[in-house]
Amino acid sequence: MTNLRKNTIVVFGAVTLNSGNAYDSTTGKFTAPDDGIYSFMWTILTKGGNYFNTKIVLNGNFIGYNYADGVSGSSNWASGSSSAVIKMRKNDKVWISTYSEEKYAYSEWSSFSGFRL
C-alpha cells in the first residue's frame, strides 16, 4: 500500500479467519453481527524512510490512532500497533483508514482483527 490519500480505507485483503463473515475484504469494513462490546487490534508495518499512520473509525467517527514511523533515518522496518474496545449495535461498521497522506505499508505484514467480547 503506497501513497494513499487522507481518509482512505485500508483494506486488509488476506483474510485467514472470518467467522460469521463480519469483515468484508472488498470494502475493508467490519459490520457488527449483533449488539455488544467488540475488541479490535491492528498493526501496520512500514519501512525506513517512510510512515503510515492510521485511525480506527466507527460509523464515520474517529475512535483511535496508530502511528507507524520509519522516517528516523534508519533503513530498518518499523511497526505500530493499536487496539480499541468499542460498544457497537448490530450493523454498526468499523474500519481502519489513513490519518493523513500516507507513504508506505507492507500489506503482507500488516494486520487487523476484531471480535465480540
Pair 94, 114: CB distance under 8 Å: yes
pTM value is 0.89
Mean pLDDT over the full length of the chain: 89
pLDDT tens digits, 97-112 = 998 877 878 777 889 9
Strand partners, 4: 102
pLDDT tens digits, 27-82 = 999 999 999 999 999 999 888 888 889 999 999 999 999 988 877 666 678 889 99
Domains of the chain, first to last: 2-14+21-116 (2.60.120.40)
Pair 55, 91: CB distance under 8 Å: no
DSSP β-ladder status, 51-58 and 61-69: antiparallel
pLDDT at 19 over 70: yes
Best CA proximity match to 33, nearest among 88, 91, 109, 110: 91
Helix (H, G, I), strand (E, B) or coil at 29: strand
Best CA proximity match to 44, nearest among 10, 89, 95: 10
Residues 6+ apart with CB under 8 A from 5: 98, 101
